[in-house]
Amino acid sequence: MSEKLQKILARSGYGSRREIEEKIQRGLVSVNGKISTLGDRVSVMPSTQIRLDGRILPITEPQKIPCRVLAYYKIEGEICTRKDPKGRPTVFDRLPKLHHSRWIGIGRLDINTSGLLLFTTDGELAHRLMHPSQEIEREYASRIFGQVNEPSIKQLTQGIQLEDGMAAFRRVTFGGGEGLNHWYNVILTEGRNREVRRLWEAIGVQVSRLIRIRYGDIKLPKGLPRGGWKEMDISTIHYLRELVGLKKDITNTLLIEKKEQRFFKPRQIRRAVKRHVMSSTRSFKKKN
């Protein structure tokens, strides 16, 4: 069964359909050695070779790619790339292994930020959720050091000129604290690099801790330990797909294999996380 080339590549996580269409028009995509044109349909088989800018892309047959979504509690010190030449731990290290697809991160968090990260096997869903035009809310709990007053809060919500353009929090809520250390919950609708930290720094205060606690209507699951993950059910997947204009046609998520069930038990997750952190630390010290 053939499908449009841009649909196949978007589902496999190589960009949105629009982005891939632009690459096809620029002559950057080929199938079995032939430069593709917009509108080409492809039947994905084991022998099919699809190249993007000369690089062969791993493509999985559509019936083997269930739509799955994970909520992961990122730890400070982890980076959001698949591999790191310096040997630092990555957010992909402890995700459940996949045999016929791969996990695609929905956005990123910087190395010093912890909290909620979403992963999916659906490339088009990931790219739509990350696109700024969707204006999906991201909520962070931020512990700041310094004086904050009402004029400062007003400035943060009305907009501040950063080096990459105007930015603002949609909402700022006081979360408690004493002395010069206070917690504030802040909400953004885009995911620029270190945007929360840069906004606070623009009014002269420093962020000492930053935790993402919500993405859209999905909150960091209660009881989920740092470094643990939880797979989302079909109703949550339907919510995310509807949020970005995709059909709610998912009837099976292959929720979890038996050998992966150990990750749901908090005590075992904590032990696994502790072992992994100790192992990663030893490995990093050896390399440096």
- Amino acid, single-letter form, for residue 232: M
Angular region, 135: left φ>0, alpha ψ -120 to 50, beta rest: left
Ranges 2-6, 59-63, 111-115, 239-243, most confident: 111-115
Mean pLDDT (whole number) for 12-37? 88
Mean pLDDT (whole number) for 32-61? 86
Q: Tell me which fold the domain 137-215 belongs to.
A: Pseudouridine synthase (3.30.2350)
Tell me: the pLDDT tens digits for 213-262?
999 999 999 999 999 999 999 899 999 999 988 876 665 555 543 333 33
Assess whether the region 3-64 and the region 137-215 belong to the same CATH fold.
no
User: Rounded to whole angstroms, how far apart are CA atoms 246 and 152?
Assistant: 39
Tell me: the pLDDT tens digits for 168-215?
999 999 988 777 789 999 999 987 889 999 999 999 999 999 999 999
pLDDT band at 286 (very low <50, low <70, confident <90, very high): low
> Which pLDDT value is given to residue 288?
56
Q: 123-130 vs 234-243: helix axis angle to the nearest 10?
A: 50
Q: Is the model's pLDDT at 265 over the cut of 70?
A: no
- Amino acid, single-letter form, for residue 265: K
Bigger pLDDT: 31 vs 45: 31
CATH number given to 3-64: 3.10.290.10
Bigger pLDDT: 113 vs 54: 113
Residue 109: closest CA among 188, 174, 20: 188
Q: Tell me which fold the domain 69-132+219-287 belongs to.
A: Pseudouridine synthase (3.30.2350)
Give bridge partners of residue 29 from the DSSP assignment: 52
Task: Read off the pTM.
Answer: 0.71
Share above pLDDT 90 across residues of the chain, in percent, rounded to a whole number: 49
Instruction: Kindly report which listed range (24-28, 114-118, 120-124) carries the lowest average pLDDT score.
Output: 120-124
Share above pLDDT 70 across residues of the chain, in percent, rounded to a whole number: 83
Q: How many CB atoms lie within 10 A of CB 113?
A: 22
> Which pLDDT value is given to residue 174?
92
Tell me: the pLDDT tens digits for 69-86?
999 999 999 999 888 888
| Residues classed as catalytic | 110
Sign of the dihedral through C-alpha 165, 170, 175, 177: positive
Angular region, 92: left φ>0, alpha ψ -120 to 50, beta rest: alpha
